[in-house]
Structure 1
Amino acid sequence: MPEPLFDATRYLASLQVYWWPFCRILALFSMAPLFNHRAVSVRVRILLALALTIALGAALPDMPEIDPLSLKGLLTALEQVAFGVLLGLTLQLVFTIFMLVGEVISTQMGMSMARYNDPVNGVSSSSILYQLYFILLVLMFFAIDGHLVTVSVLYQSFLFWPVGSGLHYVGAESFVHAFAWVLAAAVLVTLPVVFCLTLVQFCFGLLNRISPAMNLFSLGFPISILMGLLCVYLTLPDLPESYLRLTRDLLNGIGVILREGQNV
């Protein structure tokens, strides 16, 4: 018999090669740094995920034969989404560190009060120091080809965590431990600035006890802001080295998670 002109079953089976990677890639772009920024619309993320899926489809390992319309197919799609979210959140940790750094320094300087009393943006706006760190991190992200590193991590995830391999407790446990690493790194980065600002506030508090007539609020706040800006200026030259070291540690941690997931 002649071959039918349109065989939906065959085309549906061939699309599985692209459907499972598309779910993981789109989930990663929804959480990865810069890709999840509000300036990147949902349509752009979908188009980027679709283009990357087509580009990587031929180089990925063979996909299991699973009916995408069955219950197992639905669970497999959710599994890929979970993998993508886990990798995206892990890649976001370095940006989270400097977000905490900006928030802590702004609070110590007293600049967070302007954000809380902002009648336009309210408490949803980010601190000005975090915006400064974010711009510098974006420039360094593209300087070290961070977008290509993200694609490389994504491709390696399909080699170590193939489609249908299931969720691993080791990867989730390592991601939970990574939060402790984020807090520790943020404390180490902000410790010199916080110590200097605390020392300034302590000195003004001591002066206020010695001379109660001195207006602490009118004098202490400007000096704290100036000292905070001076400390930020002195620590900015070390920002690229800190970013590269933290990124290297993060990639090493991701490599450990991928290899442990393969050995499960």
Structure 2
Amino acid sequence: MNSGQALFEASQWLLALQLFWWPFVRIMAALSIAPLFAQRSLPVRARLLLALVLTVALLPTLPPAPEIDVLSPAGALATIEQILFGLLLGLMLQLAFAVFTITGELISTQMGMGMARYNDPVNGVSSTSIVYQVFFILLMLVFVALDGHLLVVSILHKSFTLWPVGSGLHYFGFQAFVHAMAWVLAAALLIALPAVFCLFLVQFCFGLLNRISPAMNLFSLGFPLAILVGLLCLKLLVPHLPENYLNLSRQLLDNLAILLPGGLDG
């Protein structure tokens, strides 16, 4: 084999690796934030291997990528574009979980179950409240039961068709993301509002009793009753958790349809 033939084969391998590089960067960036795949229980090496397997599986069905040199300035900009777009996709998919994160924190704070974390953050049991952990476990079960992991792969696949490599980032995608963040706060407030209002009434009544009878020990009576009322509110809220998650997921897909220029089918 002469040197010219070896150089030609090396250039062919380099071109194949360049076509492989763009999907890998976008998929890896999305999996680093997407629900279920971004958990600490999933090691970084396993995430890299999963992104590699998905890239190999999806590459034959993806539209042809432009021939951009990875080591050129245009290649660096295209790489940054894929990272930003993958992060946007992952964040949009994570927003439904963020709604219940804020909901769990609000309810846990009103119940007083986060008191140990606030008073002793060093020796606290966890950096998240117990209510959020219960919500998170239930959401993960619902997410897997509804084939959410397959939906993530489907959205990643359609993103290469609707937003090809080198097409650039458009303003409407970022605008949709900003509106989605405001939507998260509004949705979390609507879900947590009944429980927070009930707990506020309990604390308000004990505040009046404390003004009427200052000798009453508010801490020994108020905290147990607030926890009981909070558990009752959770009993009424948890059965509707899958339905609320489905509704939020539908709105999330609508936001993704705005983020992706061509929209998502199905």
Q: State TM-score, norm by structure 1.
A: 0.94
Q: Distance in 1 between matches of 2:256 and 2:154?
A: 12
Which residue, 164, 179, 182 being the options, matches 2:181?
Answer: 179
SS at match of 1:192: helix
How many positions carry a matched residue from both structures? Answer: 262
Residue of structure 2 in register with 1:27 after alignment: 29
Which residue, 54, 57, 65 being the options, matches 1:55?
Answer: 57
The answer (yes or no) to whether the contact 2:99–2:185 under 8 Å persists in 1 is yes
Q: CA deviation at 1:232?
A: 0.5
Aligned Cα RMSD in Å? 1.9
Q: CA deviation at 1:76?
A: 0.7
Identity %: 63
SS at match of 2:61: coil
- The 5 A counterparts of 1:117-128 are 117-118=119-120, 121-122=123-124, 125-128=127-130
SS at match of 1:64: coil
- The 5 A counterparts of 1:75-94 are 75-94=77-96
The answer (yes or no) to whether the contact 1:171–1:260 under 8 Å persists in 2 is no
Equivalent residue letter for 2:5: P
The change in CA–CA distance for 1:68 and 1:119 in structure 2 (over 3 A counts) is closer
SS at match of 2:260: helix
Q: CA deviation at 1:120?
A: 5.2
Residue of structure 2 in register with 1:251 after alignment: 253
The answer (yes or no) to whether the contact 1:170–1:260 under 8 Å persists in 2 is no
Residue of structure 2 in register with 1:112 after alignment: 114
* Structure 2 unpaired stretches of 5+: none
- The 5 A counterparts of 1:153-172 are 153-172=155-174
The change in CA–CA distance for 1:26 and 1:191 in structure 2 (over 3 A counts) is same
Q: Distance in 2 between matches of 1:35 and 1:121?
A: 28
Which has the higher mean CA deviation after the structures are superposed, 85-94 or 199-208?
A: 199-208
Residue of structure 2 in register with 1:193 after alignment: 195
**Residues 23-74 of structure 1: CA distance to partner in whole angstroms, max 9, x if unpaired?**
0000001110111111111101100000000000000000101111111111
* Structure 1 unpaired stretches of 5+: none
Residue of structure 2 in register with 1:4 after alignment: 5
Q: Distance in 2 between matches of 1:182 and 1:92?
A: 10
SS at match of 2:52: helix
Equivalent residue letter for 2:37: F
